[in-house]
Amino acid sequence: QQQVKQSPQSLIVQKGGIPIINCAYENTAFDYFPWYQQFPGKGPALLIAIRPDVSEKKEGRFTISFNKSAKQFSLHIMDSQPGDSATYFCAADRSSSGSARQLTFGSGTQLTVLP
């Protein structure tokens, strides 16, 4: 059972467009929602993260929108550039046993920004 559902699987936009990637979760125990960016041959790297008591967070050209009641969140990339072409993963973080925390990832979106 996939706890974090991500769509679309792939996305192609023109340079300057605004790609939007959507995620939905079921477990209300999640208390942080990060997005990771992965380039080919590299490990994922943190892009931006949001807490569920915040409806929007911006960092540069990247914006997370969060809808707690709908249990959905999305990533918007403003003025997208070819260098943004990568795989994007949404994730959800929660406490587990003891002091541990567990990060659950969505299935990923492969973004291609055409020049």
Partner 1 sequence: NAGVTQTPKFQVLKTGQSMTLQCAQDMNHEYMSWYRQDPGMGLRLIHYSVGAGITDQGEVPNGYNVSRSTTEDFPLRLLSAAPSQTSVYFCASSWRPGQGIYTEAFFGQGTRLTVV
Interface residues with partner 1 (CB under 8 A) are 4, 6, 9, 32, 34, 41-46, 49, 51, 89, 93, 96-108
Q: Which one, 13 or 93, has the nearer CB to partner 1?
A: 93
Q: Which one, 70 or 100, has the nearer CB to partner 1?
A: 100
Residue 106 CA to chain centroid, in angstroms?
Answer: 8
Q: Which two tokens stand for residue 10?
A: 């792939």
CB of 44 to partner 1, least distance (A): 5
Q: Which one, 56 or 79, has the nearer CB to partner 1?
A: 56
CB of 115 to partner 1, least distance (A): 26
CB of 28 to partner 1, least distance (A): 17
Residue 83 is given by DSSP the state G
Compute CA distances 66 → 15, 42, 74, 105, whole Å. 25, 28, 7, 16
Cα angle: 36, vertex 104, 96; to 5 degrees: 130
